[in-house]
């Protein structure tokens, strides 16, 4: 079954390539910049197809094992000002276009767009959370560094950077969480986002599953795998 899904994803990625290639070719007669047109062809020919699952949206996070902080045992963190984290899992990655090159995966290059703003994957930042034990608005430097390391370990699966050689990878299962600040107005915890990637041509396909929504999520609630493909607005 897994092999069939991988084959299907590979076929679909090629269909996307030829569809995009046809669109670019069709637009060329009216193109005033042949250099840009060549660049677009090059990008389409080496584009990487990525399937992902937005699995969880949460405002607060509880660690499975509390860690020893400067003010005692720290059990978790809370987002500030009704912001939240959206968690994504990379399910499959297909890098076999006509001009495929080794793909430089970097978790810091993933982002979502809200209006005209881009929000990238980042480590915890000052002012975006409080510690559940102290409830202070800005943890001290030592506390912050401990929280950053603990949260990264708990929410992230896979390396921060990796080179994917040319080929198809049906079971990637790299996971990360992107912070969505309240100032964007995107405070609907059920909101789904389109994942994007900086500095390398990629096409994205969502599993179209509604994310699990919690005011507070435990570390063990984050899945290690992707859910199956679903139609738009399908329930879990």
Residue 103's pLDDT is 98
Q: Is 24's pLDDT higher than 60?
A: no
Cα pseudo-dihedral 40, 195, 151, 213, rounded to 10:
180
Please state the length of the chain: 236
Give percent of the chain with pLDDT exceeding 70. 78
For residue 97, being part of any structural domain is answered with yes
**Higher pLDDT pick, 38 / 111:** 111
Domain limits at 67?
Answer: 2-206
Mean pLDDT of 100-105: 97
Token pair of 35, please? Answer: 């250099």
Give residue-wise pLDDT tens across range 129-139: 988 876 555 68
The burial class, CB within 10 Å (0-12 / 13-18 / 19+), for 122 is: middle
For 223-236, how does the pLDDT look when each residue is reduced to its tens digit (9 = 90+)? 999 999 875 544 44
Establish if 66 belongs to a structural domain. Answer: yes
Which H or E run contains 3?
helix 2-27
Label residue 222 by pLDDT band (50, 70, 90): very high
DSSP state of 132: T
Q: What is the pLDDT of residue 37?
A: 65
Whether residue 229 is contained in a domain is answered as no
Mean pLDDT across 139-152: 89
Dihedral pair phi/psi, residue 156, rounded to 5° = -105, 135
How many domains are contained in the chain? 1
**pLDDT higher at 68 or 76:** 76
The predicted structure's pLDDT at residue 231: 59
């Amino acid at each position: 079954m897994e092999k069939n899904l991988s084959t299907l994803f590979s076929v679909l990625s090629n269909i996307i390539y030829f569809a995009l290639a046809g669109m670019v070719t069709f637009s060329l007669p009216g193109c005033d910049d042949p250099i840009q047109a060549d660049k677009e062809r090059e990008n389409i020919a080496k584009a990487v197809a990525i399937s992902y699952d937005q699995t969880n949206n949460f405002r607060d996070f509880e660690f499975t094992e509390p860690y020893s902080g400067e003010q005692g045992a720290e059990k978790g963190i809370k987002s500030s000002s009704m912001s939240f984290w959206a968690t994504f899992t990379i399910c499959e990655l297909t890098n076999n276009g006509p001009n495929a090159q080794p793909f430089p995966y970097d978790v810091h290059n993933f982002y979502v767009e809200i209006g005209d703003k881009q929000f990238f994957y980042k480590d915890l930042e000052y002012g975006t959370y409080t510690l559940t034990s102290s409830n202070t608005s800005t943890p001290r430097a030592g506390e912050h560094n401990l929280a950053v390391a603990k949260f990264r370990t708990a929410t992230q699966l896979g390396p921060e950077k990796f080179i994917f050689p040319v080929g198809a990878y049906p079971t990637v299962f790299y996971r990360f969480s992107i912070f969505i600040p309240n100032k964007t107005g995107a405070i609907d915890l059920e909101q789904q986002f389109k994942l994007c990637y900086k500095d390398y041509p990629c096409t994205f396909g969502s599993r179209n599953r509604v994310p699990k929504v919690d005011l507070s999520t435990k570390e063990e609630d984050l899945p290690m795998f992707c859910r199956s493909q679903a139609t738009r607005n399908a329930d879990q």
